[in-house]
Amino acid sequence: MGMEEIQQQDSQEEQQVQATEETIETAACETEASEADLNELEEKRGIVNEDAEKHRKLRDELNNQTKEWKSKRDALNGQVRELVDEAGKCREERDQLNQKVRETKELRDEWNQKVTALKEQLAPYRTEKTDEKNEVPVKQLKKQLQDLEYIQQTKSLGKDKENEIVKQISVLARQIEEREKSYEQNDEIKGLVGQLREAKAQAETYHHQVSEYAEKAQAAHDKMIGFYEQADRLRKEADAAQAKFIECKQAADEEHKKHIEQIKSVHEMDKDAAAYKGKKNSVRKKKSDVEGKKEAKEIFERFKAGDKLSTEDLMALQKSGYL
């Protein structure tokens, strides 16, 4: 390369360096403004990030509450199902007992009808026998006996009156016993009386069974109602827990949405900050390149003047493109 070409190249490089320096100065001014913007951006980022963290913590708290309300709701609904199952068992037991009540009532009524029929068969015999002897009917004697016993048990009597009533009671009881024995000596009557006693005993047995089954059916019914009432109370609690569950879940979803929005804002700010820093690094690199070219030019001038160059000088020239 001739001296003229070198001088021309130097002139071009000086123009390029000058232009680059002007660009760097402009970029430096912009960088200083960007630095202020970056500080403001980082300050704003810190505020937004802190707000995002608050939303995250509140979201997590609400999610924990949501889990607690869900757990309570499920536990209450489980208890409701158990109570309803128990009520169902009581209902089945009640219905079975009521069926037994109906069946036993039918048997009791059948035996009561037999009692009535047997009494109707015996009535003519009693009337005839009483009419023949012109006697007071046994039924009337028994009524008199009951009246005297009632007076003895409920009224305050003197000693003489007490003894008189006791004597009357004894006489009536003996008359009734004798009349009934005499009455039952007739074989036909005796058979009917035996059947009547048996029918009364059967009717009484079934009557007791009806009462027993009815009491048990009522007890099963009361238990069933109790289980249903407990289930209703717990169901209301479960419904309230469900309402709180929905409330907390909606609030948690809202806090999550706000958290995500703030995080997105933080990411956008990070991108802007990265762009500012990239621009700053670019200016710094250009400035470093210009300074390197200046240094290389000075070295090259010394080289042309005949100075001996060091290894570092040669590397600087090579890096700047002079070699």
DSSP secondary structure of 182-240? HHTTSHHHHHHHHHHHHHHHHHHHHHHHHHHHHHHHHHHHHHHHHHHHHHHHHHHHHHH
Please give the pLDDT value at position 142.
81
Per-residue pLDDT band for 70 (boundaries 50, 70, 90) equals: very high
Query: Does the pLDDT at position 323 exceed 70?
Result: no
pTM of model > 0.75: no
Query: Does the pLDDT at position 89 exceed 60?
Result: yes
Query: Does the pLDDT at position 1 exceed 50?
Result: no
**Rounded distance between C-alpha atoms, residue 248 and residue 187, angstroms:** 91
For the record, the structure tokens of 99 come out as: 């069926």
- Cβ pair 159, 114 in contact under 8 A: no
In this prediction, residues 108-114 reach a mean pLDDT of 95
Per-residue pLDDT band for 30 (boundaries 50, 70, 90) equals: low
User: Looking up tokens 């802190």, which residue turns up?
Assistant: 50
Report CA-CA distances (Å) from 72 to 17, 76, 245, 257, 277.
77, 6, 9, 26, 53
